[in-house]
Amino acid sequence: MNQIRLWLLRILIVLILAIAFSTIGLDIQKNALADLFTVIGIIYTLAIGFMLGFSFQEIYDADLRNKFKNIVKDCFVVFTVLFGISALLHTLCPDFAISFWVLKLEYQFLVVFWDLFSLGYYCFNFNKLRKLRNNIDDCIRQGRIDRERYGKG
């Protein structure tokens, strides 16, 4: 339940920022959207490739192996959903603005702030994946030491 609230809060922040910047009346260059999507695609591809490189076969503790697998699986799902939403937003490409009272929401700002949020999320969690990779390597190394030292495994 906490995760759902956290995601709703993130989406609300993206909407508030998009509305604020739309209302101010700033202008976005059209090619900036395409460039931003290209960067997101590259980072998504790198992250998925990094996750595919994880190997759990030398972790003999089933609970620990399942824990690591679930972390990577959850991260893969979230990364894919974020990229899918970005792809959908870029594919739809409507040019609209919704006005209510003095507030305004332009589609381009919604896309830009969603993309910026996605990039930030990727970068933050890519670092977590790197730390997870180090933990997995430490577990594998410790398992090898234990097998050599104590004849376990």
Q: Could you give the residue ranges of the DSSP H alpha helices within the chain? A: 2-24, 30-52, 62-92, 107-150
The set of residues, in sequence order, having a beta carbon less than 8 Å from that of 98 and lying 6+ positions away, is: 104, 105
Residue 69 lies in a domain: yes
How confident is the model over 82-104, as pLDDT tens digits?
Answer: 999 999 988 887 777 778 888 88
**How far apart are the C-alpha atoms of 13 and 128, rounded to whole Å?**
23
Residue 68 has pLDDT above 80, yes or no: yes
Residue 76 in domain: yes
Residue 36 has pLDDT above 80, yes or no: yes
Q: Copy the structure tokens of residue 71.
A: 């972390």
**CB atoms inside a 10 Å sphere around CB 41:** 14
- Residue 138 is assigned to a structural domain of this protein: yes
3 part of a folded domain: no
pLDDT at 153 over 60: no
How many CB atoms sit inside 10 A of residue 87's CB? 14
Radius of gyration of the chain (CA): 21
* Structural domains of the chain, count: 1
Mean pLDDT of 13-37: 86
Q: Is residue 116 one of the residues assigned to a domain?
A: yes
What's the domain range around 60? 28-94+111-150
Q: Would the pTM count as exceeding 0.85?
A: no
Please report whether residue 11 resides in a domain: no
Q: Is residue 62 part of a domain?
A: yes
**Tens of pLDDT along 112-140?**
999 999 999 999 998 889 998 898 888 88
pLDDT at residue 149, as a whole number = 67
- Residue recorded with tokens 């894919």: 80
